[in-house]
Structure 1
Amino acid sequence: MSRSRLRLLLACLAALAIVIPLAWMWQASLVPATYSVMDMGTLDYGGGPEPAAGAMDHGSSGDMGDMGDMGDMDMAGMEHGATTSVADLVTKADGPPDVAVDLVAAQGEVTLASGRKVPGYTLNGTSPGPQIDARQGDLVEVTVRNESVTDGMTLHWHGVDVPNADDGVAGVTQDAVAVGEEHTYRFVAEQAGTYWYHSHQVSHEQVIGGLFGALVVHPARGSRNAADSDTVEAMAVAHTYSGTRTLNGEEGDVPFVAEPGQRVRVRVVNTDNGPTQVWAGGPYVVRAVDGYDLVEPTPVTDRSVTLTGGARLDIEVAVPDDGSAVRLHVGGATALVLGPEGSVAPEVTQPTEKLDLLSYGSPADLPFDVSDPDRTFDYDIGRRPGFLDGRPGLWWTVNGKMFPDVPMYVVREGDVVVMRIHNGTSEDHPMHLHGHHAVVLSRDGVAATGSPWWVDSLAVDPDETYEIAFVADNPGLWMDHCHNLPHAKEGLVAHLMYEGVDTPYRVGGALENQPE
């Protein structure tokens, strides 16, 4: 063989050594046009007991390609045996609702308070959509009609531990609501607090575009946590529309009329993908985080507090006695100005120090024992190049693997669960577990020493490691994902699955369910 032919042969072999693995990786990354989330990734039992043989056979990503030929057949039901459908996990309360709300979702333009129009989505003609107010124990019924959202839409009750059928995740707990169709959500508002609702269909576009609103569950009358007559409440719903920061849909300073000496409980909601800093022009008290009141919180001065994407803070501020106003900043471009009508609040720069919720407030006993958990899970966040559904790029990973080869965390009802979340990337991630609240046990090995810090949306910064714990007390199939929604679209999503629960819904398919 001549040298030229040998060189050509070697070059071809070298090319094949590159092309064949790449072709295999591309093929392995493909996701079928329709599939059940029950059949992705691998089952992770967290060191707990596994179900009896054959009771819960689980597909793997390697099998997903075969599912594409099954159409809309109930593969999960065939593979997993007799189970409870998420569609049957509903509120048991009968009778008329205490709170009934009708919403109409539309796609088009959002008109900001300045009059500027931006493309987006509205509910009943506005964004944010109407605030929904309920009292603890109320039966809430919300019917949404999709007037013109072309991709379909849903409503997810962010932070509200609703029954699984009402979680509002397209392709997991329901089908997307198509144009001209409607869907009714029905749940008991059991936990008082500050929450919000938003679409969970093409959420990385629809939430950013304005398809959301606030939900406030007020404490039951006469309860220990009921607001006293000297305290008034204000909303501060932060959102960025096409690069413009707003509070309650308004730009710049947003006035709120309050009398001298009056205390104002400001319910702050961060609907954006990234974190924001909150601080005041005077002392303030963080009363609640993600719907849970803190134990014996103390006044804070010269510090800001981080509010991650999807999270909420209830912050109490006292209006000055001298007739002036106080400014509560939510990010650098927007502020709520609290004081008498026409009063002026002095400017205040962002503090350099941050409040650490790990040691804020007073400790209290937890309602469950975390010393010997039933399940212990790892959620390691990484990033690496590869293919995601045939697309090359730099993608997020969970425990070293890219979607759809992500873990399915399996629990039994009643389990005490400890989860370790590590962020091995250079970006922060607001991690959101549906259907449950978790308590923070430690950060980077340092144990929590303040008030029990309950979260449903937790900021995990680069190189940070958190340990959180929760009780598996809400059966279903629940998303556990990054609430920087483009990150979820890029693969940073896993699920928490209860034994004996299955879903009839499919991602993709004729209804084009796209939860992220």
Structure 2
Amino acid sequence: MNGTRRRGARLRLALAGAATIALLGPLAWMWQDSLMPDAYSVMDMGYADYGGALTHVGATSGHSEHSEHSEHSEHFEHSEHSGHSEHTASARSLTSLTADPDRAADVAITLVARRQRFRLPTGRSVDGYTLNGASPGPVIHATVGQLVEVRLVNESVPDGITLHWHGVDVPNAADGVAGVTQDAVGVGRSFTYRFVAGQAGTFWYHSHQVSHEQVRRGLLGALVVTPAARPPAGTADVVALLHLYDGARTINGREGDVRAEARPGERVRVRVINTENGQTPVWVGGAPFRLAAVDGTDLHEPASVRDTAVTVTAGGRADIEVTMPEDGSPVRVHIGGPAGVVLGSRSYDAPAVPRPSTTLDLLSYGTPAPLGFDPDRPDRRFDYEIGRRPGFLDGRPGVWWTINGHMFPDVPMFVVAKGDVVRMRIVNDSGEPHPMHLHGHHAVVLSRDGVRATGGPWWVDSLEVGTGESYDIAFVADNPGIWMDHCHNLPHATEGLVAHLMYEGVTTPFTVGGTGGNKPE
């Protein structure tokens, strides 16, 4: 009897052990499989997606009309991509994709990065990072066609630092992404960025090393590129960079209103830059306005509107153009709330007005204009479907973002060849909105939820894709390199919402992790 009981107990124990192994075994395998190596190349991540094109087949000669789309390609003046396959003798390192090394700089500046405690004008103390002793860093000004040279010196940022030129279609070697286009700049070291300002517009710069922390704590600034022609008389220009420091909403580093002088009848361009992780509304009290530009690209024949809000995507920019009232009344440009930029001369007593109930729809704003290419005849078609599911990310259990059903790092590498017309559908079924940012390119919005765009060309580098929404976008692959295509809600990027666009024939010598400690997000 006792023997029978012992055999029964052993059987139950064996069954329990088998059940435990059956349950924990797959979890242990998933955990092990999710661990990232100490150093890896983004070229080895996931799988190659050729967008329906035959593997390693480049663009044909039928794209001569692409030359019309010049404002988004003038930056690429020195390097040319002569081959389409990474397995041919024409394969080249992205480090060779630079501005003309023999050309002298037209605009030269040194930025010294420090970790330090600093004070906002209201006296609020912030434990963060500075550039040249302040945050935001200095506004960099250039005119179209000038070569900009920025020397970045890391005096005391312990994790290293880079600078990414957000919205500027720079040569790939100047893109400033740790582990992809360069190594992070360690303490006591420096790195020099060189690029031609090929397009007039409103842009910004920020660190792309541990960016979810370093941007939040102050490593950022504005970049403004103006047309080569002198501005007409009776115009003014105001930068309005929105950033939160430890929960304090600031414009140009100041809590509360920013005042800017504007005379009666003067036309003022307020360059709103949203450096935050979520979208923000902008509206105007005291005068009608035009939305003159989005993400550094002027809109075509934008109409004057009033009692309407404009949504500015995380990472995005909106140029608000106001003509000042002839009677000298002040005008308030609200940025996310009651505070904003107050334009005036004799008085700055502009009362706050509630956010309008109407939001400007850029799908139908402005009037049509030629794109310079045919998006209905693409060489490559890609899907970027955003979802979410439980699993392990580098050994951490959680609920993580997915791209086309795959969790990081098993994500697509979108492969193109120079000259390709690229069409991409972005679908968001993840339950949260995502501001999607493609480096090195501007894309035109073709449709939202199947409804085609009917207004002026809506060019973006940062696009808000709400939950349940889908967008069709298109661009010409005119800037060879390896480019991030990620969510600019930067904590989302750390949670796996990152893919890359790669040109055939381009390689990178840099790795994420490794001795350089590269952590782009």
Q: TM-score range by the shorter chain?
A: over 0.9
Asked whether the 8 Å contact 1:93–1:139 carries over to 2, the reply is: no
Report what 1:245 is aligned to: 249
Structure 1 residues 408-436: Cα deviation after superposition (integer angstroms, max 9, x where no partner): 00000000000000111121111000000
Asked whether the 8 Å contact 2:338–2:352 carries over to 1, the reply is: no
* CA distance in structure 2 between the partners assigned to 1:334 and 1:171 by the alignment: 39
Report what 2:65 is aligned to: none
Report what 1:271 is aligned to: 275
Pick closer, same or farther for the CA change 1:375–1:357 going to 2, 3 Å. Answer: same
Q: Does 1:25 align with 2:33?
A: no
Report what 1:442 is aligned to: 447
Asked whether the 8 Å contact 1:323–1:343 carries over to 2, the reply is: no
Structure 1 residues 146-181: Cα deviation after superposition (integer angstroms, max 9, x where no partner): 000000000000000000000000000001000000
Q: Does 1:304 align with 2:309?
A: yes
Match of 1:408 among 392, 409, 413: 413
Q: Does 1:255 align with 2:259?
A: yes
Structure 1 residues 49-70: Cα deviation after superposition (integer angstroms, max 9, x where no partner): 2128xxxxxxxxxxxxxxxxxx
Pick closer, same or farther for the CA change 1:79–1:171 going to 2, 3 Å. Answer: farther
Report what 2:79 is aligned to: none
Report what 1:189 is aligned to: 197
Q: Percent identity?
A: 64
1:481 is displaced (CA, Å) by 0.3
1:402 is displaced (CA, Å) by 0.8
447-456 or 84-93, which deviates more: 84-93
* CA distance in structure 2 between the partners assigned to 1:148 and 1:43 by the alignment: 39
Match of 1:108 among 116, 130, 149: 116
Pick closer, same or farther for the CA change 1:360–1:93 going to 2, 3 Å. Answer: farther
1:207 is displaced (CA, Å) by 0.5
1:306-325 equivalence runs, <5 A: 306-325=311-330
1:40-51 equivalence runs, <5 A: 40-51=45-56
Match of 1:354 among 351, 359, 378: 359
* CA distance in structure 1 between the partners assigned to 2:348 and 2:512 by the alignment: 53
* CA distance in structure 1 between the partners assigned to 2:86 and 2:369 by the alignment: 46
Match of 1:480 among 472, 485, 488: 485
Supply the AA of the counterpart residue of 1:150: P
Supply the AA of the counterpart residue of 1:128: P
3-state SS in 2 of match to 1:354: coil
1:346-495 equivalence runs, <5 A: 346-495=351-500
Report what 1:89 is aligned to: 97
Number of paired residues?
488
Asked whether the 8 Å contact 1:170–1:515 carries over to 2, the reply is: yes
Pick closer, same or farther for the CA change 1:341–1:30 going to 2, 3 Å. Answer: farther
Asked whether the 8 Å contact 2:119–2:125 carries over to 1, the reply is: yes
* CA distance in structure 2 between the partners assigned to 1:389 and 1:343 by the alignment: 53
Supply the AA of the counterpart residue of 2:459: W
Report what 2:131 is aligned to: 123
Q: Does 1:145 align with 2:150?
A: no
Report what 2:39 is aligned to: 34
* CA distance in structure 2 between the partners assigned to 1:187 and 1:7 by the alignment: 71
Match of 1:510 among 504, 510, 515: 515
Asked whether the 8 Å contact 1:245–1:333 carries over to 2, the reply is: no
3-state SS in 2 of match to 1:380: strand
* CA distance in structure 2 between the partners assigned to 1:111 and 1:317 by the alignment: 32
TM norm structure 1: 0.92
* CA distance in structure 2 between the partners assigned to 1:80 and 1:146 by the alignment: 38
* CA distance in structure 1 between the partners assigned to 2:14 and 2:45 by the alignment: 40
* CA distance in structure 2 between the partners assigned to 1:159 and 1:293 by the alignment: 14
Asked whether the 8 Å contact 2:329–2:347 carries over to 1, the reply is: no
* CA distance in structure 2 between the partners assigned to 1:251 and 1:87 by the alignment: 41
Report what 1:69 is aligned to: none
CA RMSD of aligned residues (A): 1.6
* CA distance in structure 2 between the partners assigned to 1:394 and 1:448 by the alignment: 34
Asked whether the 8 Å contact 2:162–2:208 carries over to 1, the reply is: yes
Report what 1:65 is aligned to: none
Structure 1 residues 320-344: Cα deviation after superposition (integer angstroms, max 9, x where no partner): 2222211101101531111115431
Asked whether the 8 Å contact 2:429–2:468 carries over to 1, the reply is: yes
* CA distance in structure 1 between the partners assigned to 2:219 and 2:293 by the alignment: 25
Pick closer, same or farther for the CA change 1:253–1:335 going to 2, 3 Å. Answer: same
Supply the AA of the counterpart residue of 1:197: Y
Report what 1:219 is aligned to: 227
271-280 or 90-99, which deviates more: 90-99
Q: Does 1:294 align with 2:302?
A: no
* CA distance in structure 1 between the partners assigned to 2:425 and 2:244 by the alignment: 31
* CA distance in structure 2 between the partners assigned to 1:464 and 1:328 by the alignment: 29
* CA distance in structure 1 between the partners assigned to 2:346 and 2:220 by the alignment: 29
* CA distance in structure 1 between the partners assigned to 2:137 and 2:181 by the alignment: 23
Structure 1 residues 14-44: Cα deviation after superposition (integer angstroms, max 9, x where no partner): 2111101001101111110001110000000
Structure 1 residues 458-491: Cα deviation after superposition (integer angstroms, max 9, x where no partner): 0000000000000000000000000000100110
Structure 1 residues 280-301: Cα deviation after superposition (integer angstroms, max 9, x where no partner): 0031100000111101100111
Match of 1:167 among 175, 179, 182: 175
1:318 is displaced (CA, Å) by 2.1
Asked whether the 8 Å contact 2:440–2:479 carries over to 1, the reply is: yes
TM norm structure 2: 0.91
